[in-house]
Structure formats: structure tokens, C-alpha cells
């Protein structure tokens, strides 16, 4: 049976975008018309995922509510002549079963993934970060390609890879590969947020992973970083050191990773999605052009 379960960690505190995240989850921030995590779930559904295990924490219950079937709202829309709006709730009826467990202390992404172990057991699983969209409108097929690589290459782990600009390597997990231009990159190392001058490459880990159960053993052996956090990237490095087969699959040339890890990337992501909105994108582009032209003439 092909992999059909995904772990979606959403338990982080989102401190980089305070005060937006004081009382709402970072993963529920709007990007265009939808909250970030809805793009993630829709992408997974299109990739054949049928079960999603969210790793949640205090203050994240609006994520659970977002994926509930809201009969009251549906009835209200019908009774008040707002049937056209019903289509906006179609995502509630995707062929997905949802499960939730809590990360009771925010000890890092690696620790969040480890919280899935008692529920997932020995089953291989996708990991998809709840704060990162892959492709405009989440339309990427990367997870499908990764599942297929995991199966055909008999890999222990498959990591999505995006090439980033040299001045961004300190924001991501960075990997090295024996064959950086191959279809399946044979990974030889992984390091979390290296300094700009010591980064081993510009191949960044792009928020999607497939793991077999050896990752939990590696996560249990990872030493906390200087901030006391268990990093998933460090577990990948341990897997590689153990001799596990860890493969990288690059995002397509036209496919971007959109994350909302900070205001800079959040603003850019929102603008990208809003400017291409099928209904309002054209007028918004005109609006932005007017602002930019008037600023230039003022300057
Ligand atoms: P980040 O490190 O970007 O999220 O993790 P964060 O911890 O919320 O970031 P700060 O506070 O702004 O620096 C990427 C994904 O992993 C989840 C986050 O919710 C996010 O979706 N995560 C992170 C956890 O589930 N648990 C953690 O302990 C850390």
C-alpha cells in the first residue's frame, strides 16, 4: 500500500510574527483567500494522503475547527440565500480523516515529529510543515514525486529540496549531495541554519519529507541545539551518518516554497497570491502600479 498518512506539525509558537500570533496560530494566517494550513491540507489530499495527524499545542484549536464540517454554517448560508458561498466550504468534505495530538512543550520541530511516533508506529509517513505552501496556490506535486521516489528507490528518507540564493542559506536547513544535479540527490550531509560564510551548499530543505520509522530512533538520539530545541535537520544528519539512504528531490524550476516564517516572507507570499487572485488580481495589480508610479513621481 502506498503511503497515505501525513504528519503536519503546527505546534510552534510563531514568535517571529508577533503580535499576529499572540492569540491565533501562525498556520491560520490568511494568504490570499485561505489560511496557510488549508493550502497544505489540499496539497496533501491531491497527493493521495487520506489521514492527517496534526501535532498541535495550546492555542491551536481554531485549526481543528477549520477542518470540522460546520452544519450550522451550511444551514445558515442556505437559509439566508447565500448558496454561492457554500462552494467555499467544499474543502471540509475532502477524503481525509483528521487526527490530533499535542506537543505539550515546544521543544522544536524534531520533537514535534517524535510526538507522532506512538500513533504512527512503524508506518512510513509524509511530514509537511503547516506554515509552508509549496507552489502558487499549493498546486505542487512534489509530495507525490517524493512518495514515488521513496518506493522505487527503497529510500529511508526523502527530502524536498529548493535551491535558494546565497544570502538566504542561514534561514534554512541546508544539505549536501554527492550528485547535486541528479534526479535523485544522494544526500551526504544536513546542517540547520548554517552561517552565510560556512554553508556547504545552497540546497535548502523545503518543508516536505517522507520518512520510514528509523527517523524516530534518530530523533531520540539528537542532542538539543544551543536553544534547547530538537532539530529535524539534525536527525537527518544522523540518519546519513548511520548509512541510511536519504534522497533529495528538487522542486520543479517554476515551483516556489512560500513560508510565513517572518514578516518579510509572509508579506511577499500574501502579495504573490493576492496579485494572482482570479477575481481581484487584475484590479489589485492596477492599484499597486498606481501606488508605485505615484511614489516614483513624488520621489
Ligand atoms: P518554525 O520553527 O518555523 O515555527 O517551525 P515556530 O517555532 O512557530 O517559529 P518562531 O517561534 O516564529 O521562531 C516550522 C513548523 O514546525 C512547527 C511550527 O508550528 C511550524 O508549522 N513546530 C515548530 C512545531 O510543531 N513544534 C515546535 O516545537 C516547533
Same domain flag for 157 and 284: no
Q: Which pLDDT score is estimated for 299?
A: 60
**260 close to ligand 1 (CB < 6 Angstrom):** no
Same domain flag for 271 and 253: no
How many structural domains comprise the chain? 2
Q: Which pLDDT score is estimated for 298?
A: 67
C-alpha 213/C-alpha 132 separation (Å) is: 23
**10 close to ligand 1 (CB < 6 Angstrom):** yes
Q: Which pLDDT score is estimated for 138?
A: 83
Cell of 231: 532539530
User: 499549493: which residue's cell?
Assistant: 138
Q: What is the CATH number of the domain that holds 225?
A: 3.90.550.10
**29 close to ligand 1 (CB < 6 Angstrom):** no
- What size, in residues, is the chain? 299
Same domain flag for 240 and 203: yes
Count CB atoms within 10 A of the CB of residue 99.
13
Same domain flag for 161 and 299: no
> Which residues, 6 or more positions from 220, have their beta carbon under 8 angstroms from its beta carbon?
114
Same domain flag for 162 and 55: yes
Q: Which pLDDT score is estimated for 85?
A: 87
Atom of ligand 1 nearest to the CA of 107: 28
**Which among 6, 8, 12 is the best mutation to test ligand 1's pocket, defined by most ligand atoms within 8 Å of the CB?**
12
Same domain flag for 84 and 52: yes
Same domain flag for 96 and 109: yes
**232 close to ligand 1 (CB < 6 Angstrom):** no
Give buried/exposed letters for 208-235 (b at 16+ CB in 10 A, else e).
bbbbbebbbebbeebeeeeeebbbbbbb
**138 close to ligand 1 (CB < 6 Angstrom):** no
Same domain flag for 61 and 170: yes
C-alpha 193/C-alpha 241 separation (Å) is: 19
Cα of 239 vs centre of ligand 1, distance in Å, is 22
Same domain flag for 78 and 94: yes
Atom of ligand 1 nearest to the CA of 261: 3
Provide the residue range defining the domain that includes 57.
Answer: 5-261
Cα of 27 vs centre of ligand 1, distance in Å, is 10
**116 close to ligand 1 (CB < 6 Angstrom):** no
What single DSSP character describes residue 222?
Answer: P
Atom 1 of ligand 1, residue of closest alpha carbon: 12
**173 close to ligand 1 (CB < 6 Angstrom):** no
pLDDT tens for the chain, 299 residues long, are 699 999 999 999 999 999 999 999 999 999 999 999 999 999 999 999 999 999 999 999 999 999 998 889 889 998 898 888 888 888 888 889 999 999 999 999 999 999 999 999 999 999 999 999 999 888 899 999 999 999 999 999 999 999 999 999 999 999 999 999 989 999 999 999 999 999 999 999 999 999 999 999 999 999 999 999 999 999 999 999 999 999 999 998 889 999 898 999 999 999 999 999 999 999 999 999 999 988 777 66
To the nearest 10 degrees (0 to 180), the angle between helices 214-221 and 232-241 is 110
> Which pTM does this prediction carry?
0.95
Cα of 14 vs centre of ligand 1, distance in Å, is 6
Same domain flag for 123 and 171: yes
> Which residues, 6 or more positions from 103, have their beta carbon under 8 angstroms from its beta carbon?
9, 11, 55, 56, 57, 111, 112, 115
Atom 7 of ligand 1, residue of closest alpha carbon: 12
Same domain flag for 99 and 114: yes
**Which among 29, 109, 133 is the best mutation to test ligand 1's pocket, defined by most ligand atoms within 8 Å of the CB?**
109
**129 close to ligand 1 (CB < 6 Angstrom):** yes
**5 close to ligand 1 (CB < 6 Angstrom):** no
Cα of 243 vs centre of ligand 1, distance in Å, is 28
Same domain flag for 268 and 257: no
CB 8 within 8 A of CB 119: no
Cell of 54: 496534526
* Pick from 163, 25, 204: nearest CA to 103: 25
Amino acid at each position: 500500500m502506498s503511503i497515505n498518512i501525513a504528519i503536519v506539525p503546527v505546534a510552534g509558537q510563531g514568535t517571529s510574527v508577533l503580535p499576529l500570533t499572540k492569540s491565533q496560530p501562525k498556520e491560520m494566517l490568511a494568504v490570499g483567500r485561505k489560511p496557510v494550513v488549508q493550502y497544505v491540507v489540499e496539497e496533501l489530499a491531491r497527493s493521495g494522503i487520506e489521514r492527517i495527524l496534526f501535532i498541535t499545542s495550546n492555542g491551536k484549536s481554531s485549526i481543528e475547527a477549520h477542518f470540522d464540517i460546520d452544519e450550522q454554517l451550511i444551514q445558515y448560508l442556505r437559509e439566508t440565500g447565500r448558496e454561492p458561498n457554500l462552494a467555499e466550504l467544499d474543502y471540509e468534505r475532502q477524503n481525509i480523516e483528521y487526527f490530533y495530538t499535542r506537543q505539550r512543550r515546544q521543544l522544536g520541530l524534531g520533537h514535534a515529529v517524535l510526538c507522532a511516533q506512538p500513533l504512527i508506529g512503524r508506518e512510513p509517513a509524509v511530514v509537511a510543515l503547516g506554515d509552508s505552501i509549496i507552489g502558487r496556490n499549493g498546486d505542487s506535486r512534489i509530495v507525490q514525486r517524493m512518495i514515488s521516489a521513496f518506493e522505487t528507490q527503497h529510500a529511508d528518507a526523502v527530502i524536498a529540496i529548493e535551491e535558494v540564493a546565497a544570502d538566504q542559506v542561514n534561514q534554512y536547513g541546508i544539505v549536501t549531495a554527492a550528485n547535486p544535479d541528479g534526479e535523485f540527490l544522494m544526500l551526504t550531509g544536513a546542517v540547520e541554519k548554517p552561517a552565510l560564510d560556512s554553508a556547504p551548499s545552497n540546497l535548502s530543505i523545503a518543508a516536505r519529507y517522507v520518512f520510514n520509522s528509523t527517523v524516530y530512533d534518530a530523533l531520540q538520539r539528537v542532542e538539543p541545539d544551543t536553544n534547547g530545541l530538537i532539530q529535524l535537520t539534525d536527525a537527518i544528519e544522523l540518519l546519513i551518518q548511520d548509512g541510511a539512504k536519504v534522497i533529495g528531490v528538487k522542486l520543479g524550476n517554476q515551483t516556489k516554497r512560500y513560508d510565513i516564517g517572518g514578516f518579510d516572507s509572509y508579506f511577499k507570499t500574501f502579495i504573490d497570491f493576492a496579485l494572482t487572485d482570479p477575481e481581484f488580481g487584475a484590479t489589485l495589480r492596477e492599484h499597486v502600479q498606481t501606488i508605485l508610479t505615484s511614489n516614483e513621481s513624488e520621489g
